[in-house]
């Protein structure tokens, strides 16, 4: 997440809006953003509805056996079409900003609003 924040200008230049979604409460997300200095949007999916819809629930993988979302990155165009997906099985593995930015460029998405 920190690396995404550090490259926020690169995403902004391509008109890509970053949004994180987690099962954490709005208060937990707000506190995390404040503590870590994240300035992009964090959404709370406390019932894991969106997380389940995209088949990202990692049941029991969180602290104390709590359900969490699998790490995943999606590029969704302005019409709502998923154009690129990066899924991992490890909570520690995520796409790097450069990988996501290359996908934006390769797909020609910078000219349309994401």
Tens digit of pLDDT for each residue in 34-84? 999 999 999 999 999 999 999 888 888 888 988 888 889 999 988 889 999
Write a three-state SS string for the chain. CHHHHHCHHHHHHCCCCCEEEECCCHHHHHHHHHHHCCCCEEEECCCCHHHHHCCCEECCCCHHHCCEECCEEEEECCCCCEEEEEECCCCCCCCCHHHHHHHHHHHCHHHCCC
Range of 17-31, 62-76, 98-112 with top mean pLDDT: 17-31
Tell me what the pLDDT averaged over the chain comes to. Answer: 89
Complete domains list, the chain, with CATH:
2-111 (3.40.30.10)
Q: Does pTM top 0.85 for this prediction?
A: no
pLDDT of residue 112: 52
């Amino acid at each position: 997440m920190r690396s995404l924040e550090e490259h926020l200008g690169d995403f902004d230049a391509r008109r890509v809006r970053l949004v994180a979604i987690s099962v954490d409460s709005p208060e937990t997300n707000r506190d995390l953003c404040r503590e870590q200095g994240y300035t992009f949007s964090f959404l709370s999916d406390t019932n894991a509805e969106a997380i389940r819809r995209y088949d990202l629930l990692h049941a029991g993988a969180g602290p104390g056996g709590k359900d969490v979302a699998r790490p995943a990155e999606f590029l969704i165009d302005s019409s709502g079409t998923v154009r690129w997906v990066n899924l991992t099985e490890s909570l520690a593995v995520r796409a790097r900003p450069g990988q996501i930015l290359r996908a934006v460029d390769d797909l020609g998405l910078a000219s349309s609003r994401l």
